[in-house]
């Protein structure tokens, strides 16, 4: 078990009301599972389920990727800079 810090941006920040969250992340948790945990904790995220993206240690992550210990985790919508 590992207390993880999750960063949230743009619409995800608005829907959760937070810039960052702390969550208990069991060892072996994948990105897909963590996404479900996050949506369960913040049901308003349901509507961006298919568009939200995850970065682990500042790199775009795969759904099946296992979250390493002490990772920097971020969830956000598709980018719109420029």
**Site for other proteins, residues 12 to 51, rule: CB under 8 A:** 14, 51
34 vs 76 by CB, closer to other proteins: 76
24 vs 51 by CB, closer to other proteins: 51
Q: DSSP string of the chain? A: -EEEEEEE-THHHHHHT-SEEEEEE-TT-BHHHHHHHHHHH-GGGGGGTTT-EEEETTEE--TTPBPPTT--EEEEPSP---
Size of the site for other proteins (CB under 8 A): 23
45: which 2 tokens?
Answer: 């995220």
Residue 79 makes contact with other proteins by CB under 8 A: yes
Residues that bind other proteins (CB under 8 A): 7, 9-11, 14, 51, 53, 55, 58-62, 65, 72, 74, 76-82
């Amino acid at each position: 078990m590992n207390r993880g810090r999750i960063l949230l941006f743009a619409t995800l920040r608005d829907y959760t009301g937070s810039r960052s969250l702390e969550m208990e992340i069991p060892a072996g948790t994948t990105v897909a599972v963590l996404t479900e945990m996050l949506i369960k904790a913040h049901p308003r995220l349901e509507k961006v389920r298919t568009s939200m993206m995850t970065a682990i240690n500042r790199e775009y992550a795969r759904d099946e990727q296992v979250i390493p210990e002490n990772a920097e985790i971020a969830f956000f919508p598709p980018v719109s800079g420029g």
